[in-house]
Structures are given as C-alpha cells and as structure tokens.
Amino acid sequence: MSRFRLGILTDEVSQDLREAIAFAQQFGLQALELRSVDNRLLHQMEEEAIEGIRLMVDQSGLSICGLSAPIFKCELDQKEEVESHIAIAQRYIAIAQRLNVSLIRGFSFWARAAFEEALPRIVSQIKRIAPYFEQAGITFVLEFDPSVYASNARKVARIVDEVASPWVKALYDPGNDMWDPDGELPFPDGYNYLQGRIRHIHLKDAVKTDAGIEAVAIGSGLVDYRGLFQRLLDNGYDDYLVVETHYRLHTALTEEQLKRPMGASFSDGGKEASEQCVRSLKDLLRELGA
C-alpha cells in the first residue's frame, strides 16, 4: 500500500510565496506546485526572481513537484500564437531545470471546433515540443479542461496515445470532469480512460446546482474521492496529490479566472478555502489509512 505525497498550488493560497510555504508547513504538506507568484506567471519573471524562489523553497525543506504552465492555452490555428507558446514551453523547461522540477503541465488549445477534426493538428503540435522535454528529462503532462479541445480524460488519453512519447503523459484532475461539456463521470470513468498514463493528479470538487456547476471543498462534492483514493492505493500510486482549490468561501471565481487563473484577484479568499479543502482531504485519507 502506498502513502500519498501531498502538495498545493501556491496561488490557491496567496501570491506571496512565503505565505504559501507557511501554509504547506502548517498542514504537513510535502510539496508546492507553482503557477503565479507575485502576480506574474513564471515565464514572465526575471532570472533573479526565479533564483529567489529556488532559495526560498530550498530553505523551507519543501520541494516543487510541478510547474503549472499555460502552454497551448492558445488558438490552434493562429501560427504566431502557437510559436509563442512553443517559446513559452522552452522557457518553462529552463525554469524547471533551475528549480529542479521534473514535470510541467500544459493543455490542448482553445476548443473552437470538433475534437476529432482538430485531433491530428493537436497531436502534431505536441509532437513538436516533445523532443525539448525529452532532451531536458522533464515530463509534459496534459491536463483536460472544459475550455480546451481535450475537455475530459477520454480525449487526453487519445492525444497521449497518438503522441506516443514517454515524455508526454496525463494529468488527471477528476474535479475538472465536473465541468466537462460531454458529461464524463470523473471516477471511475475518467480514471479508467487514463489508467497507465497518469503522471500527476490535481484535486478539486464541485456540485451541480440549478445555476450550473459550483465548486466546493474536496470531499463535499460529487467526485467519488473515497473510491478514487482506494483505487490509487490498490494500484500503488505513490506520486503527488496536489490541491487545486478553485473554490472560495464567500465568492465564486469567474469563468475568466477559471480559464486563466493567476494574480491577486484569483488568490483572494483562497487561503481560507484551501484550509477547508486540505483538512477535508486529510480526513478522507485518514479514513482509508493513507
């Protein structure tokens, strides 16, 4: 039986990395995942700022388990945008090497047409960046998201299989399936599609209301986390579970904030909601002896 390693996306707590580090230490988490710090995405930061992050995390005794990059959250049919994102991918690889990180998250382009029609072009562009990741020894993990072509686990599995690179794997986020326009069931269906391809896991939860999908604390929504965690234990998963709260106690994140999460307005109120999520997560894991 494995013991999970736990982490949190730092900007779900604060734009101040020191505050996010203190949060992780308070709750006994092992790792941080970085997306935006000091109101900037990592590729927008100078080398001096990246080095400051490295020193701060090293001194904390924590590790950085991944970089949540916006790679290929762009228009598939806009050549200049695609080229700029290939440059962004290369920049993230350099940052990952500086921070001793072996995993970078990315996406599959804004959804503008049918997935099947766009699939060959998506695969082609991901194949273009795969050699950069292979050369660096860093894994590119593809996340499904309702705003991009791969809106669920089934579609991510198709892309990963067709790219057919050991350096391109899946990021499984069962909570994202709650927003899937195709209505994929997060677990067991989403997990089963990706089994054998999963390299990283994000955690969030949600419920369905008359007004639409509403984010809630992990374990209080419709994702079968008890079933998922038991399956992960049975299968010997021993990598990270990373809290991506996407939930606020007194407000709701806007659609734009969910599509492009970053900055102070996104992080506002996140610490309190993240506390609730982490406490609930740890209670669930204790129930399972994990």
Residues 87-105 have pLDDT tens digits of: 999 999 999 999 999 999 9
Which tokens in the block code for residue 73? Answer: 């959250």
Find, among 71, 60, 52, the residue nearest to 7 by Cα: 60
C-alpha to C-alpha distance for 117 and 20, rounded to whole angstroms: 42
C-alpha to C-alpha distance for 14 and 264, rounded to whole angstroms: 8
Identify the three-state secondary structure at position 167. coil
If you search the block for the tokens 């939930």, which residue do you land on? 247
Q: How confident is the model at residue 2 (pLDDT cuts 50, 70, 90)?
A: low
- State residue 255's pLDDT score: 87
The domain tally of the chain equals 1
C-alpha to C-alpha distance for 242 and 231, rounded to whole angstroms: 17
Instruction: Indicate whether 74 pLDDT > 90.
Output: yes
Q: How far is CA 206 from the centre of its chain?
A: 16
The predicted model scores a pTM of 0.96
Residues 6 or more apart whose CB falls under 8 angstroms from that of 41 comprise 35, 69, 70, 262
If you search the block for the tokens 């970085």, which residue do you land on? 34
Q: Percent of the chain scored above 70 by pLDDT?
A: 99
- State residue 254's pLDDT score: 85
Which run of H or E residues covers position 169? strand 168-172
- State residue 1's pLDDT score: 43
CATH number of the structural domain spanning residue 158: 3.20.20.150
Distance in angstroms between the alpha carbons of the first and the last residue of the chain: 8
Over residues 8-33, the pLDDT tens digits come to 999 999 999 999 999 999 999 999 99
List C-alpha distances in Å: 37 to 10, 41, 67.
8, 7, 12
Identify the three-state secondary structure at position 160. helix
The per-residue pLDDT of the chain, averaged, comes to 96
Instruction: Indicate whether 119 pLDDT > 60.
Output: yes
Q: Which residue has the higher pLDDT, 210 or 136?
A: 136
In single-letter form, the type of residue at position 240 comes to Y
Compute the Cα dihedral for 18, 24, 29, 31 and give only its sign. Answer: negative
Over residues 187-221, the pLDDT tens digits come to 999 999 999 999 999 999 999 999 899 999 999 99
How, if at all, do strands 212-216 and 205-209 pair?
antiparallel
State which residues form the domain around 166.
5-287
Find, among 159, 148, 77, the residue nearest to 109 by Cα: 148
How confident is the model over 170-174, as a mean pLDDT? 98
Which tokens in the block code for residue 241? Answer: 């579970």
Give yes or no for a contact between 120 and 84, defined as CB atoms under 8 angstroms apart: no
Q: How confident is the model at residue 163 (pLDDT cuts 50, 70, 90)?
A: very high
DSSP string, 184-219: --IIIIIHHHHTTTEEEEEE-EEEEETTEEEEE-TT
